[in-house]
Structure 1
Amino acid sequence: MLRPLLSLLLLLTLSAQAEPAHLRIQGSNTIGAALLPALVQGQLWAQQATDIQQVPGAVANETVITARDAQGQALRIDVAAHGSSTGFTALGRGEADLAAASRPITEAEAVRLKALGDLRVASAEQVIGLDGVAVIVHPDNPLPQLTTTQLAQIFSGQVQRWEQLGVAAGAIHLYARDDRSGTFETFKALVLDPHQATLDAHAQRFESSEALAAQVSSDRQAIGFSSLAAVHGAKVLAVAEGEGPAMLPDRPLVASEDYPLSRRLYFYLPANAKPQARALADFAQSPAGQAIVAAQGFVSQQVQAQPVPAQAGMPPRYRSLAQQAQRLSVNFRFQEGSASLDNKALRDVQRVAEYLRQAGKLQSKAVLVGFGDPKETPGRAALLSRLRAQAVRRELARDGVEVLEVTGMGDELPVAGNDLEQGRLRNRRVEVWVY
């Protein structure tokens, strides 16, 4: 009796060892189409895995990656990229170990998933890169730019012909991502909702940014929106919001999140995340992971210094900085209705400190410049903008950075309009300049 029992236990043990370590990721098509598989493979290479293979899944927009780790154990990673909302649904059902999203989790989703922990804390909500929602038209379209108000009118069907925009091209053909898409949720939140507009029912919908961009590139009357990484030959329009200047989704403007349709790309991990999920998130945050983010056409979070041309309309102190210093590629932003740094900013503190450390500029080489939105009380905007910069200085000091100067410029140099809350939030920022 003992020998058969021992044989059965040995068989069960060997069977368990033969089962591959399994990681299931669901969510954003923007992330899952190419970036996520590239990050998975990059992490596997970094861990000295062998026999790495990637094949399409049984359904479109799904991918299966298999490998063997350094100890020879079989690994399997399943990626299903059907839209950001599907990732949160899969987390709730226990069908995913990590959710990829191209927009932040909603209040309703966070409440529904509270059994998995608070998914809005920094350890759970991790920004892995940045993207710009690009407004795209056919390459032959002569239109250079649009405002967010015009975009709302176009995509809601209020403006239906190109002639209304000064372009002799006939009826406007609308192309949009589907309702499960984080790209659509971002466009809806930044363009349609602020103008109480809804997407025209005649718009053609796509699960994939690549398919949408390909269609726009072949239709002279088309306009659509896609991930910056999926433009693929279409013409990209500059976008202006309120009093802010028209901006193209150039990498520096997306990195600073000044571009009006900038967005963050997220991983969401439950409190009891699998070690494999946590390891993938850590790799995505690393310099090697951020290099993959950039290689895939998105904008990495690695800090860089860049010159800013001095202009006559700049405030004197700001013009002096532009003439003598360089601006870092990151803006610090804050939790809504709070003076506390948001989750991305908390990690950016570490990135800025590491950049200054490597550049030999930890001591008295950095200047923090705070900005805000207009206030009724004279001087209040300047005071609040300086307090925001002081908050960043305190965080940097914990990482050994001694700031040379802190200044507040109030509501000067807005990057967005102040009529809407989303514009005011973008104007509340802290820049870092280095000598």
Structure 2
Amino acid sequence: MLRAVFSLRVSRLATTLLAGVLLAPLSVSAALPIPADNTPALRIQGSNTIGAQLGPALVEGLLRKQGLQSVQTESAATPNEVRISATTAEGKVVFIEVAAHGSGTGFAALKANLADIAASSRPIKNQEALDLAASGDLRSHKAEQVIAIDGVAVILHPGNPLRELTTEQLAKVFAGQISNWEELGGSGGPIHLYARDEQSGTYETFKELVLLKYGKTLSRNATRFESSEQLSDRVSQDRFGIGFIGLPYVRHAKAVAVADGEAKPMLPTASLIATEDYPLSRRLYLYLPPNLHQRWANALVQFAQSPDGQAIVAQNGFVAQTVQAIKVQATPQMPRDYQALTREAQRLSVNFRFAQGSAKLDNKAQLDLKRVVDYLKRNDKLNQSVTLVGFGDAKTDPERATLLSKLRAMAVRRELLKNDVILRDVRGFGEEMPVAGNDVDEGRIKNRRVEVWVN
């Protein structure tokens, strides 16, 4: 009886997993409207991680793509705010405003009609989505746009000898429960804590992935910063300092490898962040209310997702979503079949993941399907060159974990088949090779992934 019930559940799950949809190709609109009353063409508020450099750079790229001239960025009277302006061939001035005071401020600005786009270095919260429901579903594929991948790097003074830390150690350090470097195996001395401010998406990500996971709160002794650059520079000048920061802002500090659960320690390298295997990797978002139909907002999102936009992402130190093939070195910890795969194929720099609490591919994965298909077409890999490898979180029954991981790979296979990709193989490795702990939802979601390998 139990076997029959399990078979029925698996059958239903397979049907759900094999559902999905590809988005239509993106294109940047031409001839955008020019405001006639000296008002901004677009208002962006939110994440300092995005707004400090990347956001203005993408705006500059869009303005040039539109054929506008004399593009320039100027600081506003308020810190962490800029105005990007350009002129039309007729001499009319177009300008866009960017305010970077933290991810939470972006959603508050949308609600108050003070912004057209919210820039965020974390996913929208349930209450924020409810507050903005009148403007449409902010979690829909149209509203929620992943424009780059970043890693929250844990940074130390360059002279600190420590090379790796676990997420549990980090939680205790930033909660103030570990207060001396000797307790971590380092040189003696008090630990000085540096953290982003309360409005920061970087702080929200660290809090979610590290502090709350172990039931901790940030120590009151931590020095808080709104500016990413200032935090990083402070750590690099303090031999007892430790902080966390977005990848482009490591600057003169030293990043350490981070281990979560049973996963091996990982440095915030571009390849591990691109696949989101690094335990503190995160997505950078632009959110635009789908019911408002602001043409400049739509154009900026489309430009950010384009090859030109992704090139700007890379130029600004973040990890672009451009698909590349990566050679992976086999290690003894890998399953034998996986080791064989590393010797005969290369892994693409993208993992397919699924929406929380759902068997559907998430918003990023739907766009990644198109990126992968484009890569396969360009490199003549459409016919029996692709192997999909599914992984999952730990289950009481390892065989069930293996089956579910293969069903996830089959969900991706179905979408690739719609685009004339004939696969070489589909495999499931179950709970093998975790990239995060399985004790919280965020870790389980990271472990439920599908890798793409090409011969």
One of 119, 122, 130 as aligned partner of 2:138: 119
Tell me what 1:247 maps to. 266
Tell me what 1:229 maps to. 248
Q: State whether structure 2 residue 210 is matched by structure 1 residue 187.
A: no
Q: CA deviation at 1:419?
A: 2.5
Tell me what 2:346 maps to. 326
Q: Alpha carbons of 1:92 and 1:20: their partners in 2 closer, same or farther (altered >3 Å)?
A: closer
Within-5 A mapping of 1:335-350: 335-350=355-370
Q: Contact (CA 8 Å) 2:200, 2:226: kept in 1 or not?
A: yes
Distance 2:254 2:307 in 1: 31
Q: Contact (CA 8 Å) 1:20, 1:73: kept in 2 or not?
A: no
Tell me what 2:194 maps to. 175
Q: CA deviation at 1:216?
A: 0.3
Within-5 A mapping of 1:261-300: 261-271=280-290, 272-300=292-320
Q: State whether structure 2 residue 411 is matched by structure 1 residue 391.
A: yes
Tell me what 1:110 maps to. 129
Distance 1:300 1:190 in 2: 22
Q: Contact (CA 8 Å) 1:98, 1:270: kept in 2 or not?
A: yes
Tell me what 2:68 maps to. 49
Q: Contact (CA 8 Å) 1:371, 1:410: kept in 2 or not?
A: yes
Tell me what 2:77 maps to. 58
**How far does the alpha carbon of each residue in 1:253-275 deviate from its partner, in whole angstroms, 9 at most, with x for none?**
00000000000000000112310
**How far does the alpha carbon of each residue in 1:59-85 deviate from its partner, in whole angstroms, 9 at most, with x for none?**
000000111235654211000000000
One of 400, 403, 407 as aligned partner of 2:420: 400
Higher relative contact order (CA 8 A, sep 6+): 2
Distance 2:400 2:208 in 1: 29
Q: CA deviation at 1:343?
A: 0.5
Tell me what 2:28 maps to. none
Distance 1:115 1:331 in 2: 33
* AA matched with 1:217: S
Distance 2:35 2:97 in 1: 19
Q: Contact (CA 8 Å) 1:18, 1:74: kept in 2 or not?
A: no
Q: CA deviation at 1:56?
A: 0.3
Q: CA deviation at 1:16?
A: 7.1
Moved more, 218-227 or 375-384: 375-384
Distance 1:219 1:80 in 2: 30
Tell me what 2:4 maps to. none
* AA matched with 1:307: K
Q: CA deviation at 1:47?
A: 1.5
* AA matched with 2:182: E
Within-5 A mapping of 1:191-202: 191-202=210-221
Distance 1:50 1:39 in 2: 15
* AA matched with 1:416: A
One of 311, 314, 331 as aligned partner of 2:331: 311
Q: CA deviation at 1:150?
A: 0.2
Distance 1:275 1:145 in 2: 46
Q: CA deviation at 1:337?
A: 1.9
**How far does the alpha carbon of each residue in 1:371-430 deviate from its partner, in whole angstroms, 9 at most, with x for none?**
011212341001100000000111122222222211111111111222232222111100
Q: CA deviation at 1:316?
A: 2.4
* AA matched with 2:377: R
Q: State whether structure 2 residue 99 is matched by structure 1 residue 80.
A: yes
DSSP-derived class of the 2:212 partner: helix
Q: Contact (CA 8 Å) 1:372, 1:427: kept in 2 or not?
A: yes
* AA matched with 1:363: N
One of 216, 223, 237 as aligned partner of 1:204: 223
- State how many pairs are aligned: 421
Distance 1:431 1:389 in 2: 8
* AA matched with 1:90: A
Query: What's the TM-score, normalizing by structure 1?
Result: 0.95
Q: State whether structure 2 residue 372 is matched by structure 1 residue 352.
A: yes
Query: What's the TM-score, normalizing by structure 2?
Result: 0.91
**How far does the alpha carbon of each residue in 1:73-104 deviate from its partner, in whole angstroms, 9 at most, with x for none?**
42110000000000000000000011100000
One of 389, 408, 422 as aligned partner of 2:442: 422
Q: Contact (CA 8 Å) 2:35, 2:41: kept in 1 or not?
A: no
Long gaps (5+) in structure 2: 1-33
DSSP-derived class of the 1:379 partner: helix
Q: State whether structure 2 residue 232 is matched by structure 1 residue 213.
A: yes
Moved more, 254-263 or 403-412: 403-412
* AA matched with 1:211: Q
One of 363, 388, 391 as aligned partner of 1:368: 388
* AA matched with 2:356: E
Q: Contact (CA 8 Å) 1:39, 1:284: kept in 2 or not?
A: yes
* AA matched with 1:25: I
Tell me what 2:397 maps to. 377
Distance 1:74 1:400 in 2: 47
DSSP-derived class of the 2:211 partner: helix
* AA matched with 1:230: Y
DSSP-derived class of the 2:134 partner: helix
% identical aligned pairs: 57
Q: Contact (CA 8 Å) 1:47, 1:69: kept in 2 or not?
A: no
* AA matched with 2:439: D
Q: Which has the larger radius of gyration?
A: 1
Q: Alpha carbons of 1:30 and 1:401: their partners in 2 closer, same or farther (altered >3 Å)?
A: same
